[in-house]
Amino acid sequence: MDIATLIGIVLGLGSIFGGIFMAASAANAGMGGFVSPSSFAIVVGGMIASVSVAFPLSDVLKLGAAMGAVFKGGKLKLGVVVDDAVDAADVGRKGAVELEKSVDNIKNPFFRDGVQMVVDGYSLDELTEILETRIEYREVREKTQAGLFKSMGTMAPAWGMIGTLIGLVIMLAGFGGEGGADSLGPGMSAALITTFYGAVLANLFFLPMSEKLNTRISFTSTMQAMLVEASRLIHQKKHPLIVREKLNSFIPPKEWKKEE
């Protein structure tokens, strides 16, 4: 699990509820006014309805899987990937037979496919084109998930404003009628709480989740671009020292390792 995501959400919720508690205590008021099932239903229901209109149903149904991807573990160190590529390059210089024996030991499936293409005799151009096409369309698929969260973050406050209008209509409709004063509290509550719910959902959950996915997409694309280059170098039977130095160009200097 990604600890940073979990810490961020817990810290955010703690700050919100802590602030509510301190403000309510100072005013000698209760916290029950911040609980409104009707307001929550307006924001969440309307938001889901909007993304269902904006995105294909197949993408909306994958929302749970997309949230699971946000909470996945931290990023792999690129320096470790370089080490694996250098080991494969060392084996590749011994011949295709030895390289074929080591393919199953490669943990990264993208890199394993690239090395298998080397073993199978693909040309350098064919190998490069296939792997780069995989990167391109993986980005398209994953950016759809990030776009879904971004849209939810945009639509949640909008539905909060719709709830505010509903609350104001209820409140104003009560003036001059029987039980007018009794309608002011629920109407004002709905008018304010829906905006609160929309802002919290957008700024603590959906917009940060979109940014998290975009960060991971960029990281994965960098790693896979590095592995495309590694596969090309193995195809050319480059010395492991050259492989390491070239792949080090893709990673932060603090992760560089030198050939022993």
Q: Contact at 8 Å (CB) between 39 and 186?
A: no
- Which secondary-structure segment (H or E) carries 24? helix 3-26
27 and 83, same domain (yes or no):
no
| Measured distance CA(198)–CA(211) in Å, rounded | 18
Structural domain range at position 3: 1-35
77 and 188, same domain (yes or no):
yes
Query: pTM for this structure?
Result: 0.82
| Measured distance CA(174)–CA(58) in Å, rounded | 43
Determine the pLDDT at residue 152.
Answer: 93
Determine the pLDDT at residue 229.
Answer: 95
Residue pLDDT, tens place only, 204-216: 999 999 999 998 8
Give the confidence band of 244 by pLDDT, cuts at 50, 70, 90.
very high
The answer to whether residue 226 is domain-embedded is yes
Average pLDDT over the chain, rounded to whole? 86
Whose CA is closest to 224, among 90, 108, 72, 86?
A: 108
41 and 163, same domain (yes or no):
yes
Give the confidence band of 258 by pLDDT, cuts at 50, 70, 90.
low
> In sequence order, what are the residues at sequence separation of 6 or more whose Cβ sits closer than 8 angstroms to the Cβ of residue 28?
none
Q: What separation in angstroms does the CA of 102 have from each of 89, 156, 166?
A: 11, 50, 65
The answer to whether residue 147 is domain-embedded is yes
Determine the pLDDT at residue 63.
Answer: 85
8 and 84, same domain (yes or no):
no
Q: Contact at 8 Å (CB) between 51 and 155?
A: yes
Determine the pLDDT at residue 186.
Answer: 58
Residue pLDDT, tens place only, 111-148: 999 999 999 999 999 999 999 999 999 999 889 989 99
- Overall number of domains in the chain: 2
